[in-house]
Amino acid sequence: MVGVANTSRIEQQSTLHGTEELVINMGPQHPSTHGVLRVILKLDGETVNDLDCDIGYLHRGTEKIGENITYTMFIPYTDRLDYIAAPSNNLAWVTAVEKFFDWEIPMRAQYIRSMVGELSRIASHLLWLATHALDIGAMTVFLWCFREREMVLDLFETAFGGRLTVNAFRLGGLHEDVPDKFLQLTQEFIDIFPSRIDDYETLLTNNRIWLQRTRDVGIISAEDAMDLGLTGPIIRGSGVRWDLRRAKPYAAYPYLDFVVPVGENGDIYDRYLVRIEELRQSTRIIQQCLDQLPGGPVTCKTPRTIKPPEGEIYHSIENPKGEFGFYIVSDGTTTPYRVRIRPPSFINLGGLKKLCIGQLVADVVAIIGSIDIVLGECDR
Amino acid sequence: MIPMTHFLVLGAVLFLIGAMGVLMRRNAIIILLSIELMLNAVNVTFVGFSRHLADMTGQVFAIFVITVAACEAAVGLAILIALNRDRTMVNVDEINLLKW
Amino acid sequence: MDMALEVAVAAIKIFIVVNVVQLVVAYMIYVERKVIAHAQLRLGPMRVGWHGLLQPIADGLKLFFKEDIIPDKADRVVFVLAPVMVLVPALVVYAVLPFSATFYITQINIGLFFVLAISSLGVFGVVMAGWASNSKYSLLGALRSAAQMLSYEIFLGFSVIGPLMLAGSLNLQEIVHAQRDVWFVFYQPLAFIVFFVAALAETNRVPFDLPEAETELVAGFHTEYSGMKFAFFFLAEYASMMVISTIGIVLFFGGWEGPDFIPLPGFVWYCLKLGAFMFVFIWLRATLPRYRYDQLMRVGWKFMFPLVMLNIFLTGFLKYLFL
Amino acid sequence: MEIYFFYMFAGGMILTSLLMITRANVIHAALLLVLTFFFLAGVFVLAGAEFLAAVQILLYAGGIMVLYLFSIMLMNVEVAVRMRQWHRQGVVVLVAAVLLGLEIWAVLGEVEFGAPKQWEWSLGATPGNVEALGAVLYTKFLFPFEVASILLLASMIGAIVLAKRTIER
C-alpha cells in the first residue's frame, strides 16, 4: 500500500513539475512569419518547447486548377506560386512539359532562360536578405536590398512587360526575343551589383551582433537535412553540395561555369553566407550568358495544340529556395490529368520544428527568416 | 517642524496595518508585501528619531533595514516561485508539510 | 509674498520646460525619421509642410483623434494608468536637469541620485502596460523589459560613480563646474562606454530594443495601445532619451560649457551636444541588428559589470595617488 | 506648511496600505504598495533625509517592487483571485490590533520628547545630507556595512539556488 502511494506521488510530481507552458500564436498576422504562416509556439519562459506550423491560409487550389486548363494556360498560374521569383517557376513548368516531347529548344532561348532564372534568383535572395536582416533588427539592409531588387524588376519589365508576375517563358522557348535594351541594362546591373553586395556585407558579415545572433543558432546536420528532404541553400549550408543546376542540368547550365557554395556548420550564418555567395555566382552566370549569348530564333516549332503523350513525368529545377518540381500525369488530352507541385518552401518548412526546439523565441524569428519561405508556393 | 509624536504614530499605524496583513491574509505574496510595509514602518520611526536627535545613526539603520528588506524579498520570492512551480499554490495555510 | 512669487516663477518654468520638452520630443521623432530615411536612401516625411516639417504636429493631431481602444479582457485601471506611469517620471526628471548656468527649474543636492531614482520608475509603466493588456506578446515584452531595465540600471548607476568621485558632488551644477578644465570623458573613458551602452538599454534603443522588437513581439508591451495612450509611450521613450543624453553630457562632456575660445551661450552648447548625442542614438539604430535576450544579459553581467567595477577601483586608486 | 504635507503623505500612506492588505488581486496590491513607498519617500524628505528618500524610490520602488511584480507575473494570478482571501482568525487579529494601537497611543501620550536638536555639521561648509550620511556610514558603521553586503551576497546565492529549475551537480 505504501509503495503504491509512493509511486503515485512520484508520478504526480513529474507531471506537476515545471511552470505552465505559454502557448503563443505567432501569425498568421505577424511581421516576421513572412506571409500568412501561423506558428503555434509552446514556450517555457523564452525557450521553445514545442512548435507546430499551421499552413493553408493562402491555399488557392493551384494544382486543381492545373487539371482543368491547358498546359500553356497554366504558365501564369505558376507565377503566383513563388511570387518572389516568378520566372523560376515558369522555367520549371515549361521544362517539365517540354520533357514530354523531344523538341529542340534554340540555344538563345536556353541562355535567356538561364539568365532570367538567375535574375529571379537575385531578386529572391535580395528579398530574403532584406526581410531576414529586418527580422534580426537591421533595418537599413532592408531598403538597400530593395533598391537593387527594384532594378531587377525593372529588367523583367523591360524584357517581358511584367514586374512581379512575369509570365516569362513559353512552351518551346520564349514568346519573343528580348529587346537589346534588356541586355544592355542587364550588363549595367551586373557591373554595379557586386559592389552593392559588398555594401550589404559591410553591414552584416563581420558585425558582432549579427554573428552572435546567427552563429550556432538553428543548426541542422547534413544527415538530418537529407532525411527531411530539405533542399536549396539550407542543405548547402549544412555542407551538402547538392544543386540541381549541377546534378541534373537544364536550360543552359551545362555550358556555364559556376561554383556551388556550401557551408560547414549548417547554422543560420552559413545559410546566410551561402546565399550571399550565390548572389555573386548568379552575377557570374549572367555575365557568362551575356558573353556567350548566341543569335538565332528563340522558339522552336511547336504544334498548335499541345497534347503530350499519355504518361507521367517529374521534373524539378533549382529554384532560389530549393528544389522546385512538377509531377505531371498526362492522359493524352490537352489538359493534364494531375498536376502536383513540389514546392521547396513546404518541404523546408518541415524542418522548422527540428531547427527551433530548444531555441529562444527570438531565434525562431531568425530561423524562419533563414529558411526563406514563401507561403504562395507552400500553400499552393 | 513636525512633532516627533507624528512620526511615531504614523510608524505604529503602518506597522499595525502590516501586521494585520500578515496575520489575516492567506495569499503568500500579500504577506510578503505586508512584511515590507512593516519594515518601512520601522524606517519611519528611525528617520523620525534621526531628525529629532540630529543624529545620522537613524538613517544608517534605515539603510540597513532596506538591505534586509531586499534580501528578504529576494529569498522570499525565490521560495514562492519554487513552491509555485512544484505545487500551484500561493496560500500559506496550504503549505503545511515540511517536505514534499 | 516671497513664497507666492517663488511658486509662480517655478510654475512658469515648469510650464515652459514641459511644453518645450514635448515639442522637442515631437521634433526628435521627425529628425530620427529624416536621418534614418537618408541612411536608407529615401526621403522620409516630405508632404506636410516644407520637407515634412509639420509632420510631427500632424501625427500628434492624428493620434489625438484616434479611437481609444481598451481590450475587453484588460485590467482597465492599470491599463489606463500605465502610459501615465511611463510619461510622468520621464517628465519629472526635467525638474533637476541643468540646461544652462541659469536656466533650470531647481537644483537639489542629490540631483543625480534623484534622476536615477525617478527614471527607474519608468519600468513600472512598462510592466503595468504589459500585464494589463492581457496579451501574451505584451507580457513577454514586459518581462523582458523589466529584466533588461533592472539589470542595466545597475550598470548605469555604477558607471556614474567614477565621474561622481572626481566631481565630489551629486549636484548636477557642481558636476559641470568641476569639468571647467577637462571633460570627464577623458578621465573616465571606461565609465563612458558603460554609461552609453547602459543608456541605450535603459531607453530601449537599438541594439537593445528587444522589449519592443516588432519582428518578434509585435511591438511588445504597447501592442494593445492606440491613440493618445500609445503616443504617451512614444513621448516617454524620447523624453527619457533626452534625459539620459543630458546626464551623459553633464557627467562626461562638461554640460553646457564649451571651450573658451568659441564664445557661445551655454544653452547653445547644450543643444549642440544634445544634438550630437541624439544623432549617435539614431545612427546606431540605422546600423545595428538587435541582440537576443540572453545575449543582452550576458553582455551586461559578464562584460559591463566587471568593467565598471574595474573603473571604480581604478578611479579610487588613481585619485588616492594623484589628488 | 510642512505639517500639511506631512498629513497628506501620512494619510496617503495609511489609505494605500489599508487598500493594499485588502486587495484580492496581487498585482493591484503590489502597485498600491509602490504608492505607499512614494508617500514614504515624501515623509523622508520632510524629515530631512533626502538621500534616504531617493534610496527609497530607487531601491524599493524601482528595484524590490519590480522584482515582486516580475515574480507575480510568473505565477498564475487569476486562480488566487478566486480563492478565499482571509484566514478565519481575522477577528482575533483585529481585536489584538486595536488593543495594541490603543496601547501605543497611551504610551505616546505619556512620553515627553523635548525640543528637537539642531544638526551639527562636521563636514566642511556645505551641510549636506549625503556627505554626513556617507561619513557616518563608512567610519562608524563600516563593519555593519560589510556584514550587510555579505548578507546581500548570501541572499542572492540563496535566491538563485532556490529558484533554479535544476541544479547541476
- Categorise residue A243: left if φ over 0, alpha if ψ from -120 to 50, beta otherwise: beta
A20 to chain D, any CB pair closer than 8 A? The answer is yes
A359 to chain C, any CB pair closer than 8 A? The answer is no
Residue A3 has pLDDT above 60, yes or no: no
Q: State the count of interchain CB pairs (< 8 A) between A and B.
A: 10
- Using the 8-state DSSP alphabet, how is residue A177 labeled? P
Touch criterion met for D and C (3+ Cβ pairs within 8 Å): yes
Contact yes or no for A18 and D74 at CB 8 A: no
Q: Are A369 and A136 in contact (CB under 8 A)?
A: yes
- How far apart are alpha carbons B8 and D103 in whole angstroms? 13
Q: Are A145 and A216 in contact (CB under 8 A)?
A: no
Residues of A numbered 10-69 whose beta carbons fall under 8 angstroms of chain B's beta carbons: which are they?
Answer: 13, 16-19
SS3 D47: coil
Q: Are C201 and C55 in contact (CB under 8 A)?
A: no
Contact yes or no for A18 and D76 at CB 8 A: no
Residue A149 has pLDDT above 80, yes or no: yes
C189 upstream amide cis, omega within 30 of 0:
no
* Domain ranges, residue C159: 66-322
Q: Which amino acid belongs to residue A280?
A: R
Full 3-state SS string of C197-264: HHHHHHCCCCCCCHHHCHHHHCCHHHCCCCHHHHHHHHHHHHHHHHHHHHHHHHHHCCCCCCCCCCCC
Contact list, C288 vs chain A (CB under 8 Å): 137-138, 207, 209
Count of domains for chain C: 1
Residue C202 has pLDDT above 80, yes or no: yes
For A128, the enclosing helix (H) or strand (E) is helix A107-136
Q: Where are the domains of chain A?
A: 1-60+356-380, 79-342
* Other beta carbons within 10 Å of C66: 14
Residues of D numbered 109-128 whose beta carbons fall under 8 angstroms of chain B's beta carbons: which are they?
Answer: 111, 113, 116-120
Q: Is residue C21 part of a domain?
A: no
Contact yes or no for A18 and B100 at CB 8 A: no
| pLDDT tens string B8-37 | 888 888 888 888 888 888 888 888 889 989
Q: Are C146 and D70 in contact (CB under 8 A)?
A: yes
Q: Are C168 and C178 in contact (CB under 8 A)?
A: yes
Give the C-alpha distances (Å, rounded to integers) separating C9 from A149, C16, C108, D2.
59, 11, 17, 20
Q: What is the mean pLDDT of residues A300-308?
A: 82
Strand A322-330 with A336-342, pairing: antiparallel
Contact yes or no for D57 and C120 at CB 8 A: yes
- How far apart are alpha carbons C158 and C309 in whole angstroms? 8
- How far apart are alpha carbons C176 and C249 in whole angstroms? 9
* Other beta carbons within 10 Å of D108: 14
Top-confidence residue, B2 or A339: A339
Contact yes or no for C218 and A31 at CB 8 A: yes
| pLDDT tens string A256-272 | 888 888 888 888 888 88
- How far apart are alpha carbons A183 and A155 in whole angstroms? 9
Q: Are A158 and A184 in contact (CB under 8 A)?
A: no
The dihedrals phi and psi of A22, each to the nearest 5 degrees, come to: -100, 120
Contact list, A13 vs chain B (CB under 8 Å): 86, 100
- How far apart are alpha carbons D5 and D43 in whole angstroms? 8
Strand partners, A360: A47
Contact yes or no for B80 and D79 at CB 8 A: no
| pLDDT tens string C309-319 | 888 888 888 88
Residues of D numbered 21-60 whose beta carbons fall under 8 angstroms of chain B's beta carbons: which are they?
Answer: 21, 23, 26, 29-30, 33, 36-37, 40, 43-44, 46-49, 51-52, 55-56, 59-60
D165 to chain B, any CB pair closer than 8 A? The answer is yes
The answer regarding whether domain A79-342 maps to CATH 3.40.50.150 reads no
Residues of C numbered 258-277 whose beta carbons fall under 8 angstroms of chain D's beta carbons: which are they?
Answer: none
Contact yes or no for C140 and A46 at CB 8 A: yes
Residue D154: predicted pLDDT: 92
- How far apart are alpha carbons A161 and A143 in whole angstroms? 24
CA of residue B13 relative to chain centroid, distance: 13
A102 to chain D, any CB pair closer than 8 A? The answer is no
| pLDDT tens string C65-117 | 888 888 888 888 888 888 888 888 888 888 888 887 777 777 777 788 888 88
Residue D167: predicted pLDDT: 56
Q: Which amino acid belongs to residue B23?
A: L
Of A324, A210, A196, A197, the closest CA to residue A267 belongs to A210
- How far apart are alpha carbons A370 and A129 in whole angstroms? 9
- Using the 8-state DSSP alphabet, how is residue A360 labeled? B
Q: Are A101 and A288 in contact (CB under 8 A)?
A: no
Our CA-based measurement puts residue C120 at a distance from the nearest CA of chain D, in whole angstroms, of: 5
ipTM of the complex: 0.78
Q: Is residue C15 part of a domain?
A: no
Q: Is residue C317 part of a domain?
A: yes
A18 to chain D, any CB pair closer than 8 A? The answer is yes
Choose the mutation target among D71, D78, D150 for the interface with B, i.e. most B CBs under 10 Å. Answer: D71
Touch criterion met for C and B (3+ Cβ pairs within 8 Å): no
Residue with cell 495569499: B27
Highest mean pLDDT range out of C45-59, C256-270, D11-25?
D11-25
- How far apart are alpha carbons A281 and C219 in whole angstroms? 38
Contact yes or no for A142 and C40 at CB 8 A: yes
| pLDDT tens string A363-374 | 888 888 888 888
Of B8, B26, B60, the CB nearest to D133: B60
Our CA-based measurement puts residue A209 at a distance from the nearest CA of chain C, in whole angstroms, of: 6
* Other beta carbons within 10 Å of C259: 10
Q: Are A261 and A236 in contact (CB under 8 A)?
A: yes
Residue D168: predicted pLDDT: 55
Print burial letters for D17-34: b (CB count within 10 Å at least 16), e (below 16).
Answer: bbebbbbbbbbbbbbbbb
Residue D150: predicted pLDDT: 92
Of A71, A138, A151, the closest CA to residue A315 belongs to A71
- How far apart are alpha carbons A325 and A317 in whole angstroms? 6
A336 upstream amide cis, omega within 30 of 0:
no
- How far apart are alpha carbons B29 and C225 in whole angstroms? 29
Print burial letters for A142-181: b (CB count within 10 Å at least 16), e (below 16).
Answer: bbbbbebbebbbebbebbbebeebbbbbbbbbbeebbeee
Q: Which amino acid belongs to residue A106?
A: P
| pLDDT tens string A195-254 | 888 888 888 888 888 888 888 888 888 888 888 888 888 888 888 888 888 888 888 888
Q: State the count of interchain CB pairs (< 8 A) between C and D.
A: 71
Residue A135: predicted pLDDT: 83
Of A152, A129, A138, A34, the closest CA to residue C40 belongs to A138
SS3 D86: strand
| D85 grid coordinates | 482571501
| pLDDT tens string A272-291 | 889 999 988 999 889 988 88
CA dihedral C42, C44, C46, C50 (to 10 degrees): -110
- pLDDT mean by block of 10 residues, chain D; 169 residues: 85 90 84 88 84 85 81 70 74 85 82 70 54 82 89 89 68
CA dihedral A273, A276, A282, A284 (to 10 degrees): -90
Would you list which residues of chain D are within 8 Å, Cβ to Cβ, of chain C?
A: 25, 27-28, 31, 34, 50-51, 54-55, 57-58, 61-63, 65-67, 69-70, 73-74, 126, 128-130
Residue C164 has pLDDT above 50, yes or no: yes
Q: Are D26 and B29 in contact (CB under 8 A)?
A: yes
Q: Are A74 and A66 in contact (CB under 8 A)?
A: yes
Contact yes or no for D74 and A20 at CB 8 A: no
Residue D120: predicted pLDDT: 59
Nearest residue in D to A44, CA atom: D74
Nearest residue in A to C38, CA atom: A140
Q: In what order do the strands lie in the sheet with A22-26?
A: A22-26, A38-44, A47-54
- What is the Cα Rg of chain D in Å? 21
For A342, the enclosing helix (H) or strand (E) is strand A336-342
Residue with cell 495555510: B93
Residues of B numbered 49-88 whose beta carbons fall under 8 angstroms of chain D's beta carbons: which are they?
Answer: 50-57, 59-60, 62-64, 66-75, 77-82, 84-85, 88
Alpha helix (H) residue ranges in chain C: 2-39, 55-65, 76-92, 111-119, 122-132, 136-159, 161-167, 172-178, 184-187, 189-202, 214-217, 227-252, 266-287, 293-298, 305-322
The dihedrals phi and psi of C227, each to the nearest 5 degrees, come to: 60, -140
Q: Are A315 and A92 in contact (CB under 8 A)?
A: yes
Q: Are D79 and B80 in contact (CB under 8 A)?
A: no
Going D95 to B44 to D65 to C128, the CA torsion angle's sign is positive
Read off the pTM.
Answer: 0.82
Contact yes or no for C120 and D63 at CB 8 A: yes
